[in-house]
Amino acid sequence: MNDASALYLGLISGTSADGIDAALVRFEHDRPQLVDALTHPWPDALRARILAVAQDEERLDLDAYGRLDVAIGQCFADAAQALLTRNEGRRASVRAIGSHGQTLRHRPTGEQPFTLQVGDPSVIAERCGIDVVADFRRADVAAGGQGAPLLPAVHAMLLGRPGHTRVVLNLGGIANITVLGADGRVFGFDTGPANGLMDAWHLRHRGSAFDADGAFAASGQVDPALLEAMLADPYFALPPPKSTGREHFHLAWLESHLRIASLAPSDVQATLLELSARSVAEAIVRHAADTVDVLACGGGVHNGLLMRRLGELLAPRAVISTASQGVDPDYLEASAFAWLARQRLLGLPGNLPAVTGARGPRVLGAVYPAPYR
């Protein structure tokens, strides 16, 4: 297949596990352009299992791990098939699927650093009849990097503005920033929680997966003592490169701080939103004080209260959606994994060592061929 006419399909479920994003992407001058996209829901029981394992609330034996790996792979295949069915006339042009998988653990430091994403790529290749590229993060970790974030190269291509410093803010379960320097320098890191803690607390106390528009948080009051206790976590003071996940910022971590306070659930939610906003804003002010604007993407862009609070903390800088730049905020991550799949097949690096701290550029991902027809 001529790569100039090829399409790629990207798949990702983030740390919030709020759905599998699927993006069909074409390339113009090596820049990803979104063709179509959708979000495929998780079955409720499987999502609950993913969150329990990711937060270390449930331990898996090897048999249970194997079954979970396949079940997640089947759901990723369902998401890809749903998008391919909607674009049946384009199916033959899809060169490969880039599957991030579902992160269960991310521990890129220590004597044996590792990162673990599951969702059997062979199941996806078998079901879809298309080559799959997966396991994108481990090569960077093996090279001494954090394995994250992996999106800054795409952010730079799509959202860079020569002569101006900009920040791209991804508000997923975890927040991460990409600093696009006026001089062309690119770096970034995970700042800490975005939606993950708020989603988990809202699910526990309101029974639904997320706090729509921040309504639950808006009904409470920020507790200064709880906020300062959480902001004292050593992660926030670490210099980049750094990355984190739900295995650190989870409900047990929150509850360890709640022992010092007896608060209404709505007050905790308000404080969690302030934690996300403050930790993001402080990271931007510390590392990109000259930024002109902050371009937000990810699920948190739909939380009006969070976006307004970020705007207040970062004023006079504008905090706006990437949609203002013609980039869909909901599918930028999935599009990036389509780009990473293409990079792998072209034999080109996918990481930025200045972001992850790896010893050098690395070709990321492993190829799982489609069955021979």
Domains and CATH numbers, the chain: 3-147+331-368 (3.30.420.40), 152-325 (3.30.420.40)
Q: What is the pLDDT at residue 373?
A: 59
Residue 365 contacts residue 133 (beta carbons within 8 Å) = yes
Q: What is the pLDDT at residue 342?
A: 98
Token output for 347: 């034999």
Residue 159 contacts residue 293 (beta carbons within 8 Å) = no
Q: What is the pLDDT at residue 259?
A: 75
C-alpha angle 49-54-60 in degrees, rounded to nearest 5? 65
Q: What is the pLDDT at residue 5?
A: 85
In order along its 373 residues, the chain shows pLDDT tens digits of 557 789 999 999 998 899 999 999 999 999 999 999 999 999 999 999 999 998 888 889 999 999 999 999 999 999 999 999 999 999 999 999 999 999 999 999 999 999 999 999 999 999 999 999 999 999 999 999 999 999 999 999 999 999 999 999 999 999 999 999 999 999 999 999 999 999 999 999 999 889 999 999 999 999 999 999 999 999 999 999 999 999 999 999 999 998 766 899 999 999 999 999 999 999 999 999 999 999 999 999 999 999 999 999 999 999 999 999 999 999 999 999 999 999 999 999 999 999 999 999 999 999 999 998 5
Indicate the pTM of the whole model. 0.95
Residue 325 contacts residue 103 (beta carbons within 8 Å) = no
Q: What is the pLDDT at residue 320?
A: 98
For residues 195 and 17, give the distance between their C-alpha atoms in angstroms, rounded to a whole number.
11
SS3 label, residue 366: strand
Q: Could you identify the residue written with the tokens 């521990």?
A: 107
Q: How far is CA 44 from the centre of its chain?
A: 20
Q: What is the pLDDT at residue 261?
A: 66
For residues 30 and 53, give the distance between their C-alpha atoms in angstroms, rounded to a whole number.
37
Residue 357 contacts residue 140 (beta carbons within 8 Å) = no
Q: What is the pLDDT at residue 1?
A: 54
C-alpha angle 348-351-357 in degrees, rounded to nearest 5? 140
Pairing of strands 293-297, 166-171: parallel
Q: What is the pLDDT at residue 2?
A: 58
For residues 151 and 138, give the distance between their C-alpha atoms in angstroms, rounded to a whole number.
15
